[in-house]
Amino acid sequence: MKAFTSVNDVSNVPSFIKEALKLKQAPFAFQHLGKNKTLGLIFLNPSLRTRLSTQKAAMNLGMNVIVLNIDKEGWQLEMQDSAVMNGTTVEHVKDAATVIGNYCDIVGIRCFPGLKNKEEDYTESVLNKFIQYCNCPLVSLESATLHPLQSFADAITINEHWKKSGKPKVVLTWAPHIKPLPQAVANSFVQWMLKSEVDFVITHPQGYELAEQFTKNAKINYDQQEALQGADFIYAKNWSSFTSYGTMPDVKEDWMLTPEKLKATPDAKVMHCLPVRRNVEVPDSLLDSPSSLIYNQAENRVYAAQAVLKNMLESNF
Ligand code: CP
């Protein structure tokens, strides 16, 4: 594996999940793989889980880890090719990424979308510049359009908690928020669920359709209550509009998941990637209930990252 930027970098999702669960049983079994190898984690945006879980995963594999919050601690980056840099930007991404790649054996990069220019975000212009110039294996720590480490952890969590035979019903339900958020977690979750052994439904208000490139083969139901019927796993997440790009048309507070909405599916597990705006996106009564898997998801971020890094280390790059 030379890059991990989407589910398309994984040849077989069910067997990759099994590999991560094996690592969870024996996290230190492959310490030799990372000896004298360096992982560089570069953040253009804030993080708690991604930073700590990926760092822990690398340490479990015996790697050295260096972290740069480049948005706060680095020089302001210029992203445009051939720019005359006589303004506020100090260092061109081609120089920064080339140097970072020279220091590291694997690079992780977090680069959120600006949510202003759909084309710029959906062509992953920043992520691709780092891939181009780092010249070493690269892991997405959440890009403009996708968050594959999160979705991999989510898929692991669903697999771990599904004890019945047959496929579980998994519902992705839009949740209210106070400000426009990226579509990355939702896009990515859709991609991973469509390659997993689950019956998958997306529900959201009109105007919040995700990009068709991700939802092409997905079931979409605009009636939340109908979509939730018979659900085994319910993933609540806000995202801003894709069609009316980066806006929050007609905010629907009544889309918040509530215990009342789950009366018909009392055994359904509730998921969220965190951070969560409590009592805006999902109420305390669900997040703190026995049905909640939020901390299990966060724990599995370690083993998702560890499976990816192990695969890269074994690729003998
Ligand atoms: N879920 C997630 O990626 O969390 P952080 O933004 O804190 O890394």
Q: What are the structural domains of the chain?
A: 3-146+301-316 (3.40.50.1370), 148-297 (3.40.50.1370)
* Cα–Cα separations (whole angstroms), residue 260 to 48, 173, 256, 286: 31, 15, 11, 10
Task: Compute the distance between CA of residue 288 and CA of residue 176 in angstroms, rounded to an integer.
Answer: 19
pLDDT value of position 264: 86
pLDDT value of position 47: 98
Which protein residue's CA is at the shortest distance from atom 4 of ligand 1?
49
Which protein residue's CA is at the shortest distance from atom 3 of ligand 1?
50
State the closest ligand 1 atom to the C-alpha of 51, by its place in the atom list counted from 1.
8
Please state whether 247 falls in left (phi above 0), alpha (psi between -120 and 50) or beta: beta
State the closest ligand 1 atom to the C-alpha of 110, by its place in the atom list counted from 1.
8
Both structure tokens of 283: 């109420």
pLDDT value of position 253: 79
DSSP characters for 259-308? Answer: TGGGTT-TT-EEE--S---BTTTB-HHHHTSTTB-HHHHHHHHHHHHHHH
Task: Compute the distance between CA of residue 159 and CA of residue 303 in angstroms, rounded to an integer.
Answer: 13
pLDDT value of position 317: 61
Distant-in-sequence, close-in-space partners of 201: CB < 8 Å, separation ≥ 6: 169, 170, 171, 172, 218, 219, 220, 221, 227, 231
CB count in 10 Å sphere of residue 230 = 13
Taking the alpha carbons at both ends of the chain, their separation in whole angstroms is 9
Is pTM beyond 0.95 here? Answer: yes
Strand pairing class (3-4; 269-271)? unpaired
**241 and 253 Cβ atoms separated by less than 8 Å:** no
pLDDT value of position 208: 97
Q: How far is the CA of 53 from the centre of ligand 1 (A)?
A: 9
User: Which residue from 157, 188, 238, 274 has its CB within 8 A of the most atoms of ligand 1, so it is best to mutate?
Assistant: 274
Which protein residue's CA is at the shortest distance from atom 6 of ligand 1?
47
pLDDT value of position 162: 98
pLDDT value of position 250: 84
Q: How far is the CA of 277 from the centre of ligand 1 (A)?
A: 13
What amino acid is encoded at 17 in this protein?
I
Q: Is 280 in the pocket of ligand 1 (CB under 6 A)?
A: no
Both structure tokens of 279: 């009592």
pLDDT value of position 251: 73
State the closest ligand 1 atom to the C-alpha of 274, by its place in the atom list counted from 1.
1
Q: Is 41 in the pocket of ligand 1 (CB under 6 A)?
A: no
Q: Is 50 in the pocket of ligand 1 (CB under 6 A)?
A: yes
Q: Is 49 in the pocket of ligand 1 (CB under 6 A)?
A: yes
Nearest residue to 215 (alpha-carbon basis) of 245, 183, 247, 240:
183
Q: Is 203 in the pocket of ligand 1 (CB under 6 A)?
A: no
Q: Is 274 in the pocket of ligand 1 (CB under 6 A)?
A: yes
Both structure tokens of 133: 């110039």
Q: Is 129 in the pocket of ligand 1 (CB under 6 A)?
A: no
Q: Is 237 in the pocket of ligand 1 (CB under 6 A)?
A: no
The one-digit pLDDT tens for each residue of the chain (317 residues) are 999 999 999 999 999 999 999 999 999 999 999 999 999 999 999 999 999 999 999 999 999 999 999 999 999 999 999 999 999 999 999 999 999 999 999 999 999 999 999 999 999 999 999 999 999 999 999 999 999 999 999 999 999 999 999 999 999 999 999 999 999 999 999 999 999 999 999 999 999 999 999 999 999 999 999 999 999 999 999 999 999 999 999 877 799 999 999 998 989 999 999 999 999 999 999 999 999 999 999 999 999 999 999 999 999 76
- Strand order across the 269-271 sheet: 219-220, 199-203, 169-174, 233-237, 269-271
CA angle 72, 74, 78 (to 5 degrees): 105
CB count in 10 Å sphere of residue 102 = 10
Q: Is 47 in the pocket of ligand 1 (CB under 6 A)?
A: yes
Q: Is 156 in the pocket of ligand 1 (CB under 6 A)?
A: no
